[in-house]
Amino acid sequence: MFGCPYTIQNLSKSLRRKQQGRWTYTKIEPLVVNLRENLKRLNINQFQLVDLAILIGNDYFPGIKGIGPKTALGLIKKHQNLENVISNEENNFVLRDLSSGVIKKVRKIFLLPEVLDNCSDVYWNPPNESRVIELLCEDHNLNKERVNNNLDKLINNYHECRTFFKTTSKNPTSIQQSLDMFT
């Protein structure tokens, strides 16, 4: 939604996922989702994808009841944008929650997100061992021995990362571009 060219799903060291409410696991494989290829396959653009997400629902708007992914895609392809969907489909769906202010706000979040230019005051705290054990072992009933083994690895990696980033140049080799840089 934010224009990231590639998204990785199912990235896991163990290549498996615990099934909810069971003590069984499902094998998973990492999947790379290419934004450009998917937009081309769906025959829509980035702006229409955001309008589609508004109809379906996302973190910033709950969506419209009765509109799922297939219906939303059909509406966006037929009417080209959200404003046209509202004016042409008001008799078929309850679209009163889609005010121009809401649409503008959600579009701005996705298409022109606020980006920090300077992150010098960010600090990465070391893992809190007792809280991690409490959360994973007591609250979620995970095996304490396995948690401790992985916690030791996490702490070791934390210190290696701190050392790496302290010795690496503070100047980035590339700058992330945002949509407003293209206008």
Pick the CATH number of 6-111 from 1.10.150.20, 2.60.40.10, 3.30.750.200, 1.10.10.10: 1.10.150.20
**What is the reported pLDDT for 39?**
96
In 10 A of CB 183, how many CB atoms? 5
The CA distance from 33 to 70, in Å, is: 19
The per-residue pLDDT string of the chain (183 residues; one tens digit each, 9 = 90 and over) reads: 999 999 999 888 788 888 888 888 889 899 999 999 999 999 999 999 999 999 999 999 999 999 999 999 999 999 999 999 999 998 899 888 899 999 999 999 999 998 877 777 667 788 899 999 999 999 988 999 999 999 999 999 998 888 887 777 565 555 555 555 554
Domain extents in the chain: 6-111, 129-167
Tell me the pTM: 0.66
**What is the reported pLDDT for 172?**
57
The CA distance from 147 to 136, in Å, is: 7
User: What sign does the dihedral 72-74-77-79 (CA atoms) show?
Assistant: negative
The answer for residues whose C-beta is within 8 angstroms of residue 95's C-beta and 6 or more apart is 64, 85, 86, 89
